[in-house]
Amino acid sequence: MSANSSPRAQRMAMLAASSATAQQATEPAASTEPSYICTSVTATTVESFLAEIQEAAASGVDIIELRLDFLTDFDPEQHLEKIIKACPLPYIVTYRPVWEGGKYEGPEPERLAVLKMAALMGAPYVDVEFKASPYFFADPHEVPLSTKVILSYHDFKQTPDAAVLNKLATAMRQAGADIVKLAAMANDIGDAARMLDLLRNKDGPMIALSMGERGQIVRLLAAKYGGHLTFAAMSPERASAPGQPDIGRLAGLFNYRKQSAATKVFGIIGNPVAQSKSPLIHNTAFQHIGFDGVYVPLLVDDLERFLAAFKDYDDFAGFSVTIPHKEAALRAAKDVDPVAAQIGAVNTLIRQADGSFKGYNTDWEAAISAIERGLAGVAGGAAAAAAAAAKNAGTPAAESPLKGRTVVVIGAGGAGRALAFGAAARGARVLIANRSRDRADALAAALAAQYGSAAAAAVSYEDLAGGRVVGDVLANSTSVGMAPNTEESPVPAAVAGQFKVVFDAVYNPLWTRLLLDAKAGGATPVDGLQMFVGQALEQFRLFTGGSEPPAELMERTVEESMGVKK
């Protein structure tokens, strides 16, 4: 080794020699390495820190991150060895300074000395900030090769563009990183695509993370794309970074350890999506039938921008689409199912062989069947309603209890259009109330063009709220009343009781303020769970290429998650 070579070059040469000697016998190829689940210990006193280590070890993770910077009573000489010996699992020693988002405010030489001390004590990993790497590697012989050095970079404001990210990754590798870690805030879900691109094109072990809800998919899909690890919290309220999932959901619901490059990705596109039960119902069903797919929440601000960002991700095979993107989904689809085209809204996108998407609408049959059962006084849960919807698909208007009834639809968006066209197809007269009157007028005109001038009309939202609109069925297609705004209702309580049947497309909570008011007023309430499960069953068939969905399991799973008792 040249005496003039830099400390970084010396470290790299040492690593290269070690790797050649080992002939990769102890280090699997990157493509076959597992992706680990790591959780962070962030207690503030040594005593509680030691207890939290044991809790972390029992939580089901593979690696524990020791965030020493959170400790307020930490004395390295007295406590470091004790903390390290308390770890029954592989661990990462992190001593993050405030200038990189951590808690440590002391001198840099002392901080870096602690990390080197941990390495000499046998730490499997130490996390060193990229900016500090020249000082940490000043003498490469101070850091044993048995310790993997994670060089990390964090941007808490934004995600750099692809060129900057790739340049950073290359520089970090050249600086002596055994593992490159890049974490950046996602201000749009398209930012997550750039982080996944890093993983797809990596040239060595890498941790790539998008912070924030818009970037959560990077954390959930790191195993599929070959990330060295992902971080998870021991419980939802203990997340150490924005968008961090909890261990139970990551390992169980999102099947993290069984993801592979072949795993197909599906998701719910909407804003908001945090409250959606779609990941729960679809992942449970996928795992039940052994389908190699994972279903994730996708917080999307602009549908066109999202699809453009992920246009090269052929394994993103299909999406459920919810508020406010159902009409945009219609425009995004190259091919559209005739029913969806007639309705003018799409709630399902399926990727075709050429990379384009075909749009479907699975809302309308599920919703209309639930309303029909309410009018007919038929008992039964969501699975029964969904079965009825499948059986009654294409039911002639003459056979429907909606024939000759007046249905008042609140909302003229995608779900409202599905309800309105479905009711009109069954022979009902449809009245549309929407806060934006021009959208109500447009929907009424579309219905009249299809079913005749007497089939539909727009009404004033103020007239509806004032009790001046008369009908048999009131159907809310808006998000008013959805958690967390559970005390809101689209109409006053007195108005809800004026109808025979009141349907609410909102299913979380199951008993919305609208349905409670309707029941108190003597109307028959029909909850949105019946529509939700019904449309999900048909989506499941589309996602899996025709597999029969486990209907009762899907219904029971959602009901149990909502505390519904039968």
Catalytic, out of 116, 148, 154, 202: 154
Distance between CA 543 and CA 552 in Å, rounded?
A: 18
Rounded to a whole number of angstroms, the CA Rg of the chain reads 28
β-partners of residue 38 are 63, 231
Catalytic, out of 178, 246, 363, 504: 363
DSSP state of 244: P
Rounded-to-10 torsion of CA 128, 132, 138, 139: -10
State the DSSP string of 124-149.
Answer: SEEEEEGGGHHHHTSSGGGS-TTSEE
Question: Are 41 and 64 a contacting pair, CB within 8 Å?
Answer: yes
State the angle between helix axes of 551-561 and 382-391 in degrees (0 to 180), rounded to the nearest 10: 140
Q: Is 326 a catalytic residue?
A: yes
Q: Is 85 a catalytic residue?
A: no
Distance between CA 70 and CA 72 in Å, rounded?
A: 6
Distance between CA 23 and CA 27 in Å, rounded?
A: 9
Rounded to the nearest angstrom, the gap between the alpha carbon of residue 164 and the centroid of all alpha carbons in its chain is: 26
State the DSSP string of 168-215.
Answer: HHHHHHHTT-SEEEEEEE-SSHHHHHHHHHHHHT-SS-EEEEEESGGG
Q: Is 228 a catalytic residue?
A: no
What are residue 490's phi and psi, to 5 degrees?
-70, -20
Catalytic, out of 224, 264, 326, 358: 326
Catalytic, out of 181, 202, 277, 358: 181
Q: Is 334 a catalytic residue?
A: no
Closest of 82, 72, 23, 25 to residue 44, by C-alpha = 72
Distance between CA 353 and CA 345 in Å, rounded?
A: 23
Residues 6 or more apart whose Cβ sits within 8 Å of residue 154 = 100, 101, 183, 184
> β-strand 357-360 against 348-351: which pairing, if any?
antiparallel
Residue 152 identity (one-letter amino acid): S
Distance between CA 507 and CA 509 in Å, rounded?
A: 5
> How distant, in Å, are the alpha carbons of 166, 182, 192, 319, 403 from that of 201?
9, 14, 14, 25, 58
For 444-453, b where at least 16 C-beta lie within 10 A, e where not — what string? bebbbeebee
Distance between CA 396 and CA 3 in Å, rounded?
A: 88
Residues with catalytic function: 154, 181, 326, 363
